[in-house]
Chains A and B, each alone.
Chain A
């Protein structure tokens, strides 16, 4: 095992928060990386997730303002027709994709652009009540600091490779609740917008439309285009 991975004892300290979906992105990445290599901890997480999932039963039933069925049918049809709202395209929780992307469970806080999601393959059962297949998980290929122009570290970018590459942006030092844009540039100079997120989101996940190895730089910008921070992703 690589010395950078947390030991079992440390990973297990984080498992309750992981299965509850509230673990901060940086720790989550580390723990998931550990679980990739440690089936004992993976089993433990899986069992703990069953308990955490039961807690979803705690809330009282409440009548929705109107019956939901027609909206559900409408969304599904709209989804199949490829008509999704901007918001849903950009900010959706992707339990299924996370399984494919290698997160397994606990994808509650991950977001990716929906248009990049493979459909019909993932299982929210694995995502919601278990850890999915161990083979689907992989540690980050690399993690780079996000720095302001003045060199202050304000977060990290963790890049995950494989067939469905993705990355997690974790911002801690950009101040209050604000909307930012995230883009990457490849080594070939191609610029790709990954979407918008809110700085207080904790960890924001984006599927990558290009191989992880082709990335050179990630930028976080304000909606007006000012670069707030950048991370060097070249090896």
Chain B
């Protein structure tokens, strides 16, 4: 009943003979809540590159990233019955679980050094990755692109790398208060931009 082995590795969207592979996220999560392990496998395959990518970006370490990614799926499975599609997309929900886990690990290590090229690569990443949700990912990058550069850096350092305001201050050579202001202004503006486009999607 498994998909062909050739589909297992790196398959973004397994088109197997299982209904699970084509099921919506909501259907998969509902099946997971009932203990359906095939639904778990399908859900993991669908999102493992996204979850691992986030964990690796935040932690810069393959072993830690794999650990966090697996744990994120275990937690998503455990709480699949509590997923509320009215609040957020399944991918956002899952990635936020992963992000929370990764932030905790970030706190156990020194922050990963982030250079300007890393940030630029992150902000331009969607174009190279067609399996990213174009609507959500594109909308997010559009909005980030409209922030003043220093606010964008502060928001991304916090969101994608788990930097605290103090660490952003160190990295940017600015006072703590300025770092906090940039985070606040950036996230506030981002919210206005994203809420403004919500109706169109």
Residues of A within 8 A of B (CB): 13, 16-17, 19-24, 47-48, 50-69, 71-73, 75-76, 79, 88, 91-93, 95-96, 106-111, 119-120, 122-130, 177, 198, 200-202
> Do A201 and B108 have beta carbons less than 8 Å apart?
yes
Known A-B contacts A54-B194, A57-B92, A125-B87; A109 and B74 likewise in contact (beta carbons under 8 Å): no
Chain A hits for B187, CB < 8 A: 16, 19-20, 48, 51-52
Question: Is the contact region of chain B dominated by helix, strand, or loop, or is it mixed?
Answer: helix
> Do B191 and A51 have beta carbons less than 8 Å apart?
yes
> Do A129 and B99 have beta carbons less than 8 Å apart?
no
A sample of 18 cross-chain residue pairs with beta-carbon separation below 8 angstroms, ordered by A number, consists of A21-B100, A22-B163, A53-B93, A56-B95, A56-B99, A58-B156, A60-B125, A65-B66, A66-B9, A67-B9, A68-B66, A68-B70, A75-B74, A76-B40, A76-B77, A91-B108, A108-B104, A123-B82
Number of interface residues of B (CB under 8 A): 86
Residue of B nearest to A128 (CB): B96
A48 to B164, CA, bound (A): 17
> Do A55 and B159 have beta carbons less than 8 Å apart?
yes
Known A-B contacts A125-B82, A128-B97; A57 and B49 likewise in contact (beta carbons under 8 Å): no
Known A-B contacts A111-B104, A202-B164; A60 and B45 likewise in contact (beta carbons under 8 Å): no
* Distance in Å: Cβ of A52 to nearest Cβ of chain B: 7
> Do B52 and A68 have beta carbons less than 8 Å apart?
yes
Asked if B21 is an interface residue, CB under 8 A from chain A, the answer is: no
Tell me which of A23, A56, A88, A123 contacts B96 (CB under 8 A): A56
* Distance in Å: Cβ of B165 to nearest Cβ of chain A: 6
* Distance in Å: Cβ of A103 to nearest Cβ of chain B: 11
Chain A hits for B194, CB < 8 A: 51, 54
Residue of B nearest to A61 (CB): B49
> Do A130 and B122 have beta carbons less than 8 Å apart?
no
> Do B37 and A124 have beta carbons less than 8 Å apart?
no
Chain A hits for B65, CB < 8 A: 64
Chain A hits for B96, CB < 8 A: 53, 56, 128-129
Chain B hits for A68, CB < 8 A: 44, 48, 51-52, 66, 69-70, 73
Asked if B155 is an interface residue, CB under 8 A from chain A, the answer is: yes
Task: Knowing that A51-B190, A128-B100 touch, tell me 17 more A-B residue pairs with CB under 8 angstroms.
Answer: A19-B187, A22-B158, A48-B187, A54-B92, A60-B53, A62-B49, A62-B56, A62-B57, A63-B10, A64-B65, A68-B70, A91-B108, A92-B71, A108-B104, A119-B78, A125-B87, A129-B87
Asked if B50 is an interface residue, CB under 8 A from chain A, the answer is: yes
Known A-B contacts A17-B180, A123-B79, A125-B84; A58 and B70 likewise in contact (beta carbons under 8 Å): no
Chain B hits for A24, CB < 8 A: 164, 166
The 5 closest A-B pairs by CB, nearest first: A108-B100, A55-B159, A61-B49, A123-B82, A56-B95
> Do B158 and A17 have beta carbons less than 8 Å apart?
yes
Tell me which of B44, B100, B122, B128 contacts A127 (CB under 8 A): B100
* Distance in Å: Cβ of A2 to nearest Cβ of chain B: 25
Known A-B contacts A22-B103, A67-B8, A125-B83; A59 and B58 likewise in contact (beta carbons under 8 Å): yes
Known A-B contacts A20-B159, A95-B97; A54 and B136 likewise in contact (beta carbons under 8 Å): yes
> Do A124 and B82 have beta carbons less than 8 Å apart?
yes
Asked if B175 is an interface residue, CB under 8 A from chain A, the answer is: no
Residue of B nearest to A71 (CB): B70
Residue of A nearest to B110 (CB): A177
A105 to B180, CA, bound (A): 20
* Distance in Å: Cβ of B166 to nearest Cβ of chain A: 8
Asked if B76 is an interface residue, CB under 8 A from chain A, the answer is: yes
A122 to B83, CA, bound (A): 11
Asked if B28 is an interface residue, CB under 8 A from chain A, the answer is: no
A55 to B54, CA, bound (A): 10
> Do A16 and B164 have beta carbons less than 8 Å apart?
no
